[in-house]
Amino acid sequence: MTSIVSAQDLGRVFGEGGAAVTALDGVTVDFPAGAFTAIMGPSGSGKSTLMHLLAGLDRPTSGTVTLDGIELTTLNDDALTQLRRDRVGFIFQAFNLLPVLTAFENIVLPLSIAGRDPDDAWVEQLIDLVGLRDRITHRPSELSGGQQQRVAVVRALASRPAVVFADEPTGNLDSAASTEILQLLRRSVDEFGQTIIMVTHDEEAAGYADRLLVLRDGQIVEDRAPTTSAVA
């Protein structure tokens, strides 16, 4: 299976000298296209650092990251920004919606910034998929947490990215809304061939993934199928 993201001997050290902290220690891992991978580990294990490096949000101290055939370590800041905009989707714990914009305006905002016209049929299909048709003109303050995160999911998928990074996407949601979001992510993999890499502390959420990576002390200590699958 083709790898859409790969890391080779990836290291990240914060600070210098006696205050230096090794957040990632020589991680080598491939993420196949069209798969759903969950990353877990205790606080300080390096899981968020790994995701930030894979997504081009931070630069490694050593090693390389290749995303959709492009080695990120060779790119300057402007090129990295363009790559994230064009090839990467993000879903955050805090939704990150602009309060003055409607749900629809939030969805197409990244495309507008990139100077790209949205694929109207695709965006409309996504809106119906997540059940937001009757809320699309509402602002975030008029939406529940689960509805806001559904807007964020559509925003992440609207540009047809090479990969979607989801950082604790259900962290601010109740169990019912969490289930809805995880089912949406699962469907985007199964029905659209989307690649998703999700950081989570929740074993139940990880059960929606095809694969589970467990980090400890900056290294991958387990690479396996989730213990409890939430998918029939």
Paired residues of 164 in beta bridges: 89, 196
Q: What are the residue ranges of helices labelled H in the chain?
A: 47-54, 77-87, 103-113, 120-129, 145-157, 175-192, 203-206
Q: What angle do CA 37, 205, 156 make, to 5 degrees?
A: 60
Q: Domain range holding 23?
A: 3-224
Asked if 221 and 214 count as a contact pair (C-beta separation under 8 A), the reply is yes
**What is each CA distance from 22 to 50, 197, 200, in whole angstroms?**
12, 22, 21
Which amino acid, 200? T
Predicted pLDDT of residue 117: 85
Q: Are residues 90 and 51 in contact, defined by beta-carbon separation less than 8 angstroms?
A: no
**pLDDT value of residue 2:** 83
- Whether 48 and 93 have beta carbons less than 8 Å apart is answered as no
**Is 230 within a domain?**
no
* CA–CA dist 91, 71 (Å, integer): 23
pLDDT tens, residue by residue, 183-229: 999 999 999 999 999 999 999 999 999 999 999 999 999 999 998 76
- Residue % of the chain over a pLDDT of 90: 75
Residue with tokens 């074993």: 203
Q: Is residue 232 part of a domain?
A: no
* CATH assignment of the domain containing 94: 3.40.50.300
For the stretch 129-157, pLDDT in tens is 888 999 999 999 999 999 999 999 999 99
Is 231 part of any domain? no
Whether 10 and 38 have beta carbons less than 8 Å apart is answered as no
**How many Cβ atoms are within 10 Å of 211's Cβ, its own excluded?**
17
pLDDT in the model for residue 229: 62
The answer to whether residue 94 sits within a structural domain is: yes
Structure-block tokens of residue 192: 């659209």
pLDDT at 130: 86
How far, in Å, are 51, 57, 61, 63, 175 from residue 14 at the CA level?
Answer: 16, 15, 9, 15, 35
Nearest to 45 by CA among 66, 24, 76, 27: 24
Looking at the predicted structure, is the pLDDT value of residue 4 above 80?
A: yes
Q: Report residue 231's pLDDT band, with 50, 70 and 90 as the boundaries.
A: low
In a domain, 229, yes or no: no
Model confidence over 20-48: pLDDT tens digits?
Answer: 999 999 999 999 999 999 999 999 899 99
Total domains in the chain come to 1
Note the pLDDT of residue 215.
96
Q: What share of the chain is helix, strand, coil (3-state, %, to 5)?
A: 40, 25, 35
In a domain, 10, yes or no: yes
pLDDT at 232: 45
Query: Does a structural domain hold residue 171?
Result: yes
Average model confidence (pLDDT) across the chain = 92
Q: What is the pLDDT of residues 86-102, one digit of tens each?
A: 899 999 888 889 999 99
Q: 133 lies in a domain?
A: yes
Q: What percent of the chain has pLDDT over 70?
A: 97
